[in-house]
């Protein structure tokens, strides 16, 4: 049975989420503060974490960053009452798998839970190698010619898209959707910025600009 850790210090949110998850056939356990959540999330029986940002003792962002620094690859869906893209970006950069703003529809949260669990159980390769570049998806480690390269969570996610789709032109809109998971101003150059970062770290010749269309990993 799939076990989901629900982390929130608001009893009515915990009740709402756990009832929905159990009705969908999942087992649940609950933590009410950050330190307790961190300890429980590191245990191997946890399949997914629903994690609130505003917590006592340690906020959700810090819980998530610590989880990832310890090598945990458990899917984490962040919950927050805060508005604005800044918190969304912080959560995704910290290693969140998805992000849901309060108030939310339980049906939407459940759909995101199912999606993240499907991704985890898929047979997608966990070691991606193209030329001199290798990504260990589970360990979130990148190497070039066998030497480890430090990538941020967002840089790693963009690199993963390229290595999973070599030779395929990926548009800016495609990368925004798959990596950032939100709508940006069409005039935003955030994708171009991250491509520039990756070229400097993984090799300038690996990512080719396809004028008017996007980028391609050669």
State which residues form the domain around 171: 127-217
Whether residue 164 sits in one domain with residue 105: no
Whether residue 150 sits in one domain with residue 103: no
Number of domains, the chain: 2
- For residue 216, the cross-strand partners are 169, 208
Q: 116 versus 37: which is more confidently predicted? A: 37
Looking at 52-56, 73-77, 108-112, 173-177, which range is the least confident one?
Answer: 173-177
Q: What is the pLDDT of residue 88?
A: 60
- For residue 208, the cross-strand partners are 216
Whether residue 146 sits in one domain with residue 46: no
Whether residue 145 sits in one domain with residue 63: no
Does the pLDDT value for residue 7 go beyond 90? yes
Whether residue 145 sits in one domain with residue 199: yes
What value does the mean pLDDT of the chain take?
85
Q: What is the mean pLDDT of residues 103-111?
A: 87
Q: What is the mean pLDDT of residues 40-50?
A: 92
**End-of-domain residue from the set 94, 121, 148:** 121
Q: 84 versus 144: which is more confidently predicted? A: 144
Whether residue 164 sits in one domain with residue 114: no
**End-of-domain residue from the set 121, 156, 174:** 121
Q: How far apart are CA 151 and CA 142, in angstroms?
A: 7
End-to-end CA distance of the chain: 42
Whether residue 25 sits in one domain with residue 105: yes
Whether residue 193 sits in one domain with residue 135: yes
Phi, psi values for residue 131, rounded to 5°? 65, -130
For residue 176, the 8-state DSSP code is I
Residues 66, 38 contacting (CB under 8 angstroms): yes
Q: What is the mean pLDDT of residues 43-66?
A: 90
């Amino acid at each position: 049975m799939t076990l989901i850790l629900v982390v929130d210090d608001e009893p009515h949110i915990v009740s709402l989420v756990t009832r929905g998850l159990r009705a969908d056939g999942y087992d649940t356990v609950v933590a009410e503060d950050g330190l307790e959540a961190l300890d429980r999330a590191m245990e191997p029986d946890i399949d997914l974490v629903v994690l609130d940002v505003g917590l006592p003792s340690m906020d959700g962002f810090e819980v998530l960053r610590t989880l990832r620094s310890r090598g945990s690859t458990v899917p984490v869906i962040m919950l927050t009452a805060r508005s604005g893209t800044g918190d969304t970006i912080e959560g995704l950069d910290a290693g969140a798998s998805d992000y849901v703003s309060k108030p939310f529809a339980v049906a939407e949260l459940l759909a995101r839970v199912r999606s993240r669990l499907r991704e985890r159980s898929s047979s997608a390769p966990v070691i991606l190698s193209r030329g001199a570049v290798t990504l260990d998806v589970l360990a979130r480690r990148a190497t070039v010619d066998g030497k480890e390269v430090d990538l941020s969570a967002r840089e790693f996610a963009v690199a993963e898209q390229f290595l999973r789709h070599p030779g395929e032109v990926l548009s800016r809109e495609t990368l925004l959707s798959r990596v950032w998971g939100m709508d940006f101003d069409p005039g935003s150059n955030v994708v171009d910025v991250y491509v520039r970062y990756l070229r400097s770290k993984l090799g300038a010749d690996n990512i080719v600009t396809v004028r008017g269309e996007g980028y391609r990993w050669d």
